[in-house]
Amino acid sequence: MATTSKQYLTRGEDLWKGRAEKVNAELFALTYGALVVQLIQDYEDFAEVNKQLEKMGYNIGTRLIEDFLAKSGLGRCTDFREVGEVIAKVGFKSFLNIVPSVTHNAPVPNSSRPTSTGSAPQVDNGSSFVLTFDENPLAEFVELPEDVLEGGLWFSNVLCGVIRGALEMVQMQVQAEFISDVLRGDEATEIRVRLVKYLEEEVPVGDD
């Protein structure tokens, strides 16, 4: 029986309320801001800073998913569409107390791809969803100066890494990237998450 979107929202709300330790939002925003500024000073190349933020997010995500699955008790998602719903309504809600809206996109049909005789998940490859944030607790006080704007920095790129890391631990390889950001003067802040493929269960490299 498919869990409805309202049930996800309630679940997220319960998880947020049930969390005993919360951190002050301003402290969190100031800490993240200091981190980004320090990275800029260290690397001086905005593309590199984006990469580092994504890497940091990846490491956070691989750990965060454990906490999330343990506390939420949610089972495996049936399809990628549901993944998007759960991330937006339960994931972001329980950790950041924000609920981005989700827009799903079907996979782009590829005529050169042989007809799949495999299981249903094959159909999902290439599908994506877009998370639209109307508020971003990481960027609470931030105004990007001109050189940063021109350099192409995605301030909250750590979020993309978190999504990629978390989903990789549940056997999904995704690409997550920012499409637009209000800090850069765009209309909205959006992240596109695209499913590359489902991963086979395999022994992690270096574990033998």
Partner 1 sequence: MPPGLRVNAVAFISAQNHPIIVRTFSAQDETTIKYHYIAHTSLDVIEERVNAAGGKSTDCYLGLLYAMEDVAVYGYITPLKVKIVLALALSDSVVRDVEINMIFKALHMAYYSSISNPFLTHNDDSVDGSRTLTVGSTKWKNFRRRIDEIARVVGNPTSTSIGGG
Which residues sit at the interface with partner 1, rule CB under 8 A? 26, 29-30, 33-34, 36-37, 40-41, 140-148
Contacts of 153 (CB under 8 A, 6+ apart): 36, 40, 46, 49, 50, 144
Q: Are 184 and 136 in contact (CB under 8 A)?
A: no
Which residue number, 41 or 111, has a Cβ lying nearer to partner 1? Answer: 41
Which residue number, 36 or 160, has a Cβ lying nearer to partner 1? Answer: 36
CA dihedral 18, 190, 188, 154 (to 10 degrees): 100
CB of 53 to partner 1, least distance (A): 14
Which residue number, 187 or 200, has a Cβ lying nearer to partner 1? Answer: 187
Q: Are 81 and 127 in contact (CB under 8 A)?
A: yes
Which residue number, 36 or 176, has a Cβ lying nearer to partner 1? Answer: 36
CB of 61 to partner 1, least distance (A): 23
CB of 28 to partner 1, least distance (A): 12
- What are the phi and psi torsion angles at 152 (to 5°)? 85, 30
